[in-house]
Chain A
Amino acid sequence: EAGVTQFPSHSVIEKGQTVTLRCDPISGHDNLYWYRRVMGKEIKFLLHFVKESKQDESGMPNNRFLAERTGGTYSTLKVQPAELEDSGVYFCASSPLTGLDTEAFFGQGTRLTVV
């Protein structure tokens, strides 16, 4: 069974440009999460989808970040326009919708560098 897949694995963009990150969760997992780790800090929650609906987007840093999950399958996270402080590793995770005490599976992450 394929795990959580993220791409690209690395992205280097200039300040002001737009970048779109993609996450393909494990098939059948209704919960999808985005997390971010900036240099030297802990991994922080960005948002949570249940199927195609945003359950919790309290961690989104500002309106330059837009997440979508059309059809409840894969998700995209767009940063527009990118700023230097957006650099970091963006992780996606998924879990089944069978209760809150289930294990989250993480992708390999996308390392974003804004120069």
Chain B
Amino acid sequence: KQEVTQIPAALSVPEGENLVLNCSFTDSAIYNLQWFRQDPGKGLTSLLLIQSSQREQTSGRLNASLDKSSGRSTLYIAASQPGDSATYLCAVLNEKLTFGTGTRLTIIP
């Protein structure tokens, strides 16, 4: 059974700092990994999708890496802004998408 863990559960950093969110999964036989963002009371917004054959994906200030063999992914956010405050979720796909519990990020102005 796939299990996905995200560390830390919550993180507060001053505006402008770079930060890293971590995701680990137990079954490395995945097809892809997605990072999502969820704002309070809102749905899930897909940020980045990394295929199993890829090592990283970049979108603007976001960079996600994937080390499938070790069951790890990181989401790097550069030059953080208050608008980045949200809950960040990673999800891995084998037979179905399995989500982590998320990291609640707060950027302090």
Write the residues of chain A forming the contact surface with B, with a CB cutoff of 8 angstroms. 6, 33, 35, 41-45, 48, 56, 91, 93, 100-109, 111
Task: Give the total number of A-B pairs whose CB atoms are below 8 A apart.
Answer: 54
User: Residues on B close to A: CB < 8 A?
Assistant: 4, 31-32, 34, 36, 41-46, 49, 51-52, 89, 91, 93, 95-102
Q: A107 near B43 (CB under 8 angstroms)?
A: yes
Q: What A residues does B31 contact at CB under 8 A?
A: 100-101
The 8 Å CB contact of A104, one of B34, B41, B95, B101, is: B34
Chain A residue contacts of B89, Cβ below 8 A: 43
CB neighbours (8 Å) of B93 from chain A are 100-101, 104
Which residues of B are found within 8 Å of A106, using beta-carbon distances? 36, 43-46
